[in-house]
A = this chain, B = another copy of it.
Amino acid sequence: MRTKEGNKEQDILEAAIKIFAESGYHNAKIHKIAELAGVATGSVYVYYENKEMILLTIFAKLWDKLFLELKEIAESKDIDAVEKFDMMIDLLFDTFIQDPALAIVFVNEQNYLLQKSPEKFTLYYEKFLDLGEAIVNEGISNGVFNTKIDVKMIRSFIFGGMRLLLHQWANNPDSVSLHHIRQNVKYFCKKGLLN
């Protein structure tokens, strides 16, 4: 009997995020991922069925985390909608500030996956956006947010805007502080949403 040394599954995933971020999914070579992870090329296939499964795993874990944390926020009884909205923005920024490479992969490859195998994760993605929508709707019911706005649309708009800013930041983290971006986004969105 031989036992597994270290956590190659995780090592490979982390290496893949870096390589995908650097070269883009389609130009990323499996042997480069293996090299960075410190394993043999073949080992990658012991842990992941194929290249696409690696990408899928990255996204599944990310959306899972985001969904669970936003759920916590959305369901909290003693926080008002405006505050929840703030926390949602923070959640996204905080998630990516810890891993710029993940932010790049997220922005660049999300559309590809959505096109390639929607059934596999449209679910998570939609569930997350639905929670965001619920928060805004709560604000509307309570009379703090504007009723003139189509919430489904604005949730996508805000999400798209944040995505682009995150991407720019992740590609060049020194050019602007994420804190500054975050402040502006919150200010702009709340001004747009509030009565």
Contact = CB atoms under 8 A, between A and B. Distances in A.
Given A161-B157, A163-B164, A146 B191 contact: yes
A157 B162 contact: yes
Interface in A160-176: 160-165, 167-168, 176
Q: SS class of chain A's interface: helix, strand, loop or mixed? A: helix
Range class of the A interface residue count: 35 or more
How many copies are assembled?
2
A83 to B, nearest CB: 19
Interface stretch (A43-51, A54-62, A71-79, A107-115): A107-115
Contacts of A167: 111
Contacts of A150: 180, 184
A133 B184 CA distance: 15
